[in-house]
Amino acid sequence: MRRFLPTTTSTTSAFLMSLLLAGSSMTHAAENSQISAADRARAVKAAKQGTRQDANKPAAKKAPAKFDFEGEFVNYASWSEVRAFLDDMAAKHGFDRAELDVLIGKVRYVDTTVQLMKPAPPGKPKNWQAYSARFIEPVRINAGVKFWNENAEALARAERDYGVPANIIVGIIGVETVYGRNTGRFRVLDALTTLAFSYPESPNRTARMAFFKGELENALLFARKDGIDPLTLLGSYAGAIGLPQFMPSSIMKYAVDFDGDSHIDLRNSTADAIGSVAHFLVEHGWKRDDPATSVYPVTVSPNRVWEKFLGQGLEAKFPLAELQQAGVSSVAAPPQNMLYGLIDLQNGSEATEYSLASNNFFAITQYNRSYFYAMSVIDLGKAVSEARAR
């Protein structure tokens, strides 16, 4: 059966595509994305406004909406896949089937989420320096200093309890949402339902739809567990929630009550966000006893024997001596008794930068499967720490 897929104007499509080409980040929830959550939030808002006003006239002032995209009505309740999903929620988790019918009748299709999930056209070269400049900049650094000062106790406690340094936690929350300034204003149920049942055509469409069905399931479970009206949950275009942009499944698995109020709130509690980020990293391999430095810049020999160490997965698994024998020379002196991975930070037409990365670097990539992301987290945390010490 043909599915309802509302079309966007050519203006909106072209504008969003240009933004995809200009961006170079992604949230840990959306592997196809190539632009950060904060930048996307601004981008889609600008795109929406651009299609609703005459280019020669100023935009009319109006009261801010509770959320950015109300979406379009689709009779999801008539879709066999949706009915099967709701039947499963009732059978597995004891949801009232009639209440689910009422809820799904209020959910809307949001085409912007579909457009933003589409991969950027091939051929756009990666550029680490351009990517980094989007995050290591004064506004984000100054906001990071303020966030650290206001949450020093919680950050110190997270470092003590989990072994994750404050600068890493600060770096993640800063990259994700600029310390809560850009947490997303999409209704999470709209975004997740749209992506679970109307994901754009792509080679991995089936797998991604299954992923978002799982996230929709967890969003409903989380809302019920916390006594939240699920339609009030706001987040990113991909359904990520709160200061640390956790997907619903991550909230259910890794979020912690770090402020001791017997309630987990990643949207309003900075302490819960801090503790949850630390807990997530530990559960994904962070080791408190590893050296503070997790990345070591290197030079590589012209013989290119070292190329076999590139693209070997998001883990540290090679002895330092083996890498050195292949022509990798470190600027600093990495510990000999650790394993490393060789990472490449491409700079478009400029020279690629190479580094050795230890275990804790790759733990950060489990938050977002990107070398660029992990390096930005480390660099932003360091910049905030240095600015705070001045």
CA angle 235/183/283 to nearest 5° reads: 85
What kind and span of H or E run contains 186? strand 186-187
Burial class, 233, CB count within 10 angstroms (exposed 0-12 / middle 13-18 / buried 19+):
buried
User: Per the residue annotation, which of 176, 217, 315, 353 is the catalytic one?
Assistant: 176
Going by the DSSP 8-state scheme, the letter that residue 94 receives in this structure is -
Active site residue 150: no
Task: Quote the CA–CA distance of 390 and 384 in Å, as a whole number.
Answer: 10
Burial class, 64, CB count within 10 angstroms (exposed 0-12 / middle 13-18 / buried 19+):
exposed
Question: 3-state DSSP call for residue 318?
Answer: strand
Strand pairing partners for 340? 318
Catalytic residues: 176
